[in-house]
Amino acid sequence: MTMETVVLTGAAGQVGSVLREPLRRRLRRLIAVDRAPLTAQGPDEEVHQAHLAEIEDVTSVIGGADAIVHLAGVPDEAPLADLLDGNVLGTHHVLEAARRTGVKRVVLASSNRLTGCYPVAQTVSAQMPPRPDGLYGVSKVAVEALGRLYADKFGLQVVCLRIGSLEPEPSEPRHLATWLSPRDCAGFVWAALTRPGITFTAAYAVSANTRRVWELDDQLGYLPRDDAEAYADRIPGSARYFTGNQLQGGDYATADYTLRYAFEQQPTDRSFR
């Protein structure tokens, strides 16, 4: 599948910052969008500061694009109203704008935390029922459902990437299963953009970790290259973590994590990254 112009929303966020340079190398034009101000990194990159709060905000920046990589949203546990606004409504705006403007391929940022309440001892596939580890995970269930709807009803080609723990290198025991290296992140996203024959798929984006707890989706055709096990000797407590009744979400799956972050009264970050 030929890919020349791609829109990247949430381009100033953690995942977007990792993707900008490898996408620019492969594309004729990258359109980077974020609420935060951006500086173009080269003549082949176009930047827009936009909130994407309305469908028209999205249609104004995606004209002529071959695909959208939608990363914008609330990036962690938060009050449900914020998650519905930033993640669910924001995704709906992107999908509807794609439908209206004829953009056929949309890659949506889902999350491994959609299944964070499965035990570490169980290998999970994208075909298994969701077991979110918090309200953030619940919002990603809705994001995937919207993608499925727009694929089934309107013919969009939608890939939902359940992104793992994107870090330069693993730094805690959970990462030995969940780590996604920057190189593999770029590989999964490019496969999601260019793989032919896709109507809808949800797939885990995770490196080739020896202790991986998620199945890879052959439909994307990308084989990850990095393994968190190379860093295991630097991470204390890694042996104990993978025994007992530990949940895949780790601390994210505790009641305290949601009570602490989802019901606090202070303003939440709606950075749309």
Where in the sequence numbering do the catalytic residues fall?
A: 136
What is the C-alpha separation between 175 and 231, in angstroms, rounded? 10
User: Could you write out the DSSP letters of every residue in 50-82?
Assistant: ----SHHHHHTT-TT-SEEEE--S--S---HHH
19 beta partners? none
| CA–CA gap between residue 266 and residue 263 (Å, rounded) | 9
Q: Which residue has the tokens 């949601």?
A: 258
Quote the tokens at residue 252.
Answer: 């994210």
Residue (of 187, 246, 8, 206) closest to 112 by Cα position = 206
Q: What angle, 0 to 180 degrees and rounded to 10, lies between the N-to-C axes of helices 182-194 and 14-26?
A: 60
Among 266, 262, 202, CA closest to 74: 262
Neighbours of 260 (CB within 10 A): 11
The helix or strand, by DSSP H or E, that contains position 260, with its residue range, turns out to be helix 255-262
Q: Is 200 helix (H, G, I), strand (E, B) or coil?
A: strand
* DSSP-assigned beta bridge partners for residue 202: 160
